Every structure is written in structure tokens, then in C-alpha cells.
Amino acid sequence: MSSIPESFIKHVIDEAEFEKLLEQRELLDATELVAQMGHCQWDYHNNRLISCSQGYARIFNTSVEEIIKLQSNWEDSMAQVHTEDRDKYLEAYYSQRETGNYTVEYRIIRNDGETRWLREVGLLKFDENDEVTDAFGIIQDITERVVHEHELENSQELARQVEAITDIGYFINDEEIDKYLYISPGFARIHGRTVEDYMQYVESCEDNLAAIHEADRELLRSEILDWVENGDEDFESEYRVVHPDGKVVWIRERSISRVKKNGRVKLTLGVSQDITEKKTFEQTLQKAKDSLEVTVKERTRELADTVGQLQLEIQERKGVASELENKNAELERFAYTVSHDLKTPLVTIKGFLGLLDKDLAAQDITSAAEDMEKIKHAADTMAQLLEELLELSRIGRVVGEKATCSMTELARQAAQLLETRSLELGVEYVIDDMPDVIGDKTRLTEIYQNLLENSIKFMGNQPAPRIHVGAMQETGRTCFFVRDNGVGISAEYHQLVFELFERLSPDVDGTGVGLALVKRIVEVHGGEIWIESDGPGHGCTLWFTLPGLS
């Protein structure tokens, strides 16, 4: 317990007391060894060590005798104190005169050069005159504790830096009492508060939910309650919180259950992360994506419209090209036909002019008159041909204005124009009620006039001539018809009859322009025309279509 030799103690006390004292001393040494402590007696007036325990010497890595010798004067004692801690130590040491004790933590430099942290407690004893009678000291090696505290502080600082860099925070929540046991500075910062402010603000889960954005509050409440009751897996959620200043922040939370009781989560360890920047980027990206999709759709639609217009224009140009090709072919046929058919009356006129000269020279008046009649007939034929050709050329466009026309009335008017010829042959007309159409009334009347006249011409020797005019609905369109019970026509001539100047029988009057005129009028109106007949002796039906009122 001190530096007094054991031999001296034996002479003062008996053997039993000495053994008991040794046991106490060994117990104290063991306690000091475990606690890394030591004690000493100090000469306060002379500032020197008087006695110390083995634990005291052990802390300085020396023996009791050596440490008493080393600290026998103030200068040597202070030389062992770390230079950065000497002022702090002196201030504590000299303050004990007023307080009677002191406590100080400081560093020493041992004889092996190692630096150790000590915690020292000093105590003075005073007499009735307030004079110091004795001074005691207890020291403890706290190096491991200080190092641990430094490491902990460094790790906490590192955690704070990690939280700040990654915008994350941690918390521990007791779900049974619905209270946070711990929140990190990063967690509080994410919620726009300090740790102290947040812990004062949040007394329960309801307080915490009050800071959640109202649009996310009820869903988050439901998710938390469900997880607490059945939390077999980690809890994950994304939601918004509102800072005290009104700022809205997006948070991603992930929690795990550290303790469970009866299948219910009791203790939660969670991590929260500020993902506002990520959410803002995602929203910006989504807006850009939506805008791009709209732009792409608009551009695609515009492109489709353009392609459609181009295709329509191509089709129109193909139609024009085809029509032009047909017109050119028709023009060639027309030129050939005109040159051929007009040549015939010219040859006739020229031939009879030569005969006329001879008859006049011979003063054959009768023959000359016959020649003149034949020349006149040939000229009339040529004039008729020219008139009908002029009429055909005018059909290339609709002369009159388009209007609603009653096909029934037009057929009846055409029949009246041919009444004289019809009465001579005893033709019976049957004219049905037919739908109205849109077209040039004059041209549509010419259709029926030419078709009825054509049927009358080709009645042959039919004893009961009959012409039926009507219309039928077929595949969504109205088909008009003129049907007769005349001589009929073979199938190979069904298309030929619509050619210019085409005459199937030289015994029938006409120039062969009538059906060509009808075909031109129908096509100008946007319709089509065709012929049906079971052959000679079975009559004939001419069909055509015209645009209706719709």
C-alpha cells in the first residue's frame, strides 16, 4: 500500500494482523491491475511523491522505488507530462487549494517513450486551522477509452460526411411505443430540421405523418400499419415530406425489423434518402418523353398525311396519264374514222360532179337533176357527220349546271320527242319510277333520246315492239336500264357498238355516233355503261350508272 518495508511493519503489528493486511494489499493490487489504476501520497508543500502503490508505478512502466525517485522533485514530475497538457494540469493542480480536490485528464510520456492518457483525482486533507495535513492522488490509465472515443468520434464524423454527401439519414423507432429512439443528423436534415427540433416535433407516428405531403399521407399510413402487423420483408416506400418552410422533398425509405414480438414488428431500423433531384430528373425526362411522343405522333400524322396526299396525287397522275393514253388512242381512232367516213361523201360528190359535167354537156337534163340530187344527199350526209362530231367534242365537259334531275321525267320527255316514229312502229313504252340523280339535265335527256332511238332502229320485224325503262339497286349503286325486244346483238359486238361511227348494219339509218355520245355523257358524269344481250333475236338491254343524291 505504500513504500514502507514489510520488515518494519512486522515489528509493529502481530503476525495475524500482518497476514490480514497482506491479503487486503493483494486484493487492492489485483483491483488496481484490472482497473489500470494506482494511488499515491503526495507532499503538497514540497511538491514531491512520498509513496505509491504498485498500480501507480505500473502505469508509468516502472517500479515503486524508481517512480518515487523520479518524482522526488517538481521539475522531474512535470517533465513526464505531455507539453501540450502541462498548462491544463497546472491549472487543475493549483485549483485544489480552494476546492480541496481536482480532476484532470492529461497525457504522459513514459520512460519507454509511449504516450498514455491518464485521469487523475487529487484530494487534500485540512486541520482545524485550515492547513493542509495530507495529499492523496488516484490515477487511471484511460488510453483505451480515449482512443475508442476518438475512433467513435471519427466514425461519427465520417457517418455525418457520408450522410451529407449521399443525402441519407438513419433512424431507430420503437413501434410498440411509437417513438423514435434515435435519429441521425442526416435524417433530421432531410426533414428540414435539426435533431433536437425533430425529436421535439415528433412525439408519435401521427406527428411524423403530419409532415408527409397530403397526397401521400394516407397511403403511407396504410403501408406502415400493414408492415408493422405483417412485416415479413423489408419495408420500402417513396413519398414526399413538407419542410417547415414549405419546401417539398421526395424521400425513399427502406426499413428492416430488428426485433419482433408475437409476429409483430417491435423495433425498426431504417434508412431515408433524399431523392428529390432524381425525381425531378425523372419528371423532366417523362415530360420530355411525353412531349417527344406527341411531337413524333404529330410528325408521323403529318408524314402520313403527306404520304397519303402524295399517293393520291400519284394515283391522280396515273389516272390522268391513263386517261391521256386512252384519249390519245381514241384521238387516233377518231382521226382515222373521220378521215375514212368523211372521205366517202367527198368521193361521192367528186364522182357525181364529173357525171354532172358530162350530162350537162350532153344536155341530159333528167340525168343532170339526178346527179344534183345525189350530190346534195352526199353533202347533207357530210354536214350531219360534222354536226355530230361537233356535238361529240362538246360532250367532253358538262355544259350546263348540275342539278337534281328526275330520271323518270327525262325518260318520258325523250319518248315524246320520238313519238312520231314510235307510233309508226306501234312501240309500247313502260317507264318505271326511278331515283333522282345529280347532273346536266340536257345531257341526261340526250342519253334516253339516243338509247330509245337506238332501240327503235333495231326492232327489226318485231310484231309487238316493246321498250322498258327502269332502274335497279345493285351492290350499293343504282343501275338504270333501257330494255327492248328487238333484234339483239352477239357478244363479240358488245364493246364495239360504243365506238365512233361503228354501224353493225348498213341497212339502218344513222352515222354510228349515237352510242358513242351516250358513253361520253355517262363517263363525264362519273358513271359507266355496258350492254347485255342473249344474242340475235333475243332483244338487248343497255345499262348505265350515274351518281345519286347522297
Tell me which residue of 459, 500, 477 sits closest to 550, measured CA to CA.
Answer: 477
Instruction: Identify whether the C-beta of residue 167 lies closer than 8 Å to the C-beta of residue 188.
Output: no
What is the residue whose three cell numbers read 355496258? 530
Cα gap 512→519, rounded to integer Å: 12
pLDDT of residue 381: 64
- CA angle 317/318/320 to nearest 5° reads 60
pLDDT of the chain, 550 residues: tens digit per residue: 344 444 444 444 455 554 555 556 677 777 778 788 999 998 888 888 999 999 999 999 999 999 999 998 989 889 999 999 999 999 988 888 788 888 999 999 998 999 999 999 988 888 888 888 888 989 999 998 888 777 766 665 655 665 666 678 888 878 777 788 888 888 888 888 888 888 888 765 566 778 888 888 888 888 878 877 776 678 888 889 889 898 998 988 888 876 666 667 777 888 888 888 888 888 888 888 888 888 888 888 888 888 888 888 888 888 777 777 766 666 565 555 555 556 656 667 777 788 878 878 888 888 878 878 878 777 776 666 566 556 555 555 445 678 899 999 999 998 888 888 888 889 999 999 999 998 888 888 888 988 998 888 888 888 899 999 999 988 878 999 999 998 888 887 777 777 754 444 445 454 456 788 888 888 888 899 999 988 888 899 999 998 776 5
Reported pTM: 0.37
Query: What pLDDT, on the 0 to 100 scale, is given for residue 328?
Result: 65
CA atoms within 13 A on the CB side of 57: 19
What percentage of the chain's residues is helix, strand, coil (to nearest 5)?
Answer: 55, 25, 25
Q: Please name which of 489, 469, 473 lies closest in space to residue 481, comparing C-alpha atoms.
A: 469
Burial of 229 (0-12, 13-18, 19+ CB in 10 A): exposed
Give 141: exposed, middle or buried? Use CB within 10 Å, 0-12, 13-18, 19+: buried
User: Any idea which architecture 399-545 has in CATH?
Assistant: 2-Layer Sandwich (3.30)
What is the model's pLDDT at position 160? 61
Say if 284-391 and 399-545 have the same CATH topology: no
For 342, counting Cβ atoms within 10 Å of its Cβ (0-12 exposed, 13-18 middle, 19+ buried), the class is middle
> What H or E segment, with its residue span, contains residue 147?
helix 143-166
Three-state DSSP class for 171? strand
Q: Residue 510: its pLDDT value, please?
A: 47
Torsion, Cα 506 511 515 520, to 10 degrees, reads 150
Q: If phi over 0 gives left and psi between -120 and 50 gives alpha, with beta otherwise, what is residue 363? A: left
Q: Measured between alpha carbons, how far is 206 from 194 in angstroms, rounded to an integer?
A: 19
Top-tier CATH class for 284-391: mainly alpha
Q: What is the phi/psi pair of residue 100, to 5°? A: 90, -10
> Quick check: 223 and 235 in contact, CB under 8 A?
yes
**Predicted pLDDT at 501:** 46
Q: What is the CATH number of domain 161-274?
A: 3.30.450.20
The pLDDT, as a whole number, for residue 398 is 45
What CATH number does the domain located at 6-141 have? 3.30.450.20
Domain ranges across the chain: 6-141, 161-274, 284-391, 399-545
Q: Given this model, what pLDDT does residue 475 score? A: 80
**Can you tell me whether residue 390 is helix, strand or coil?**
helix
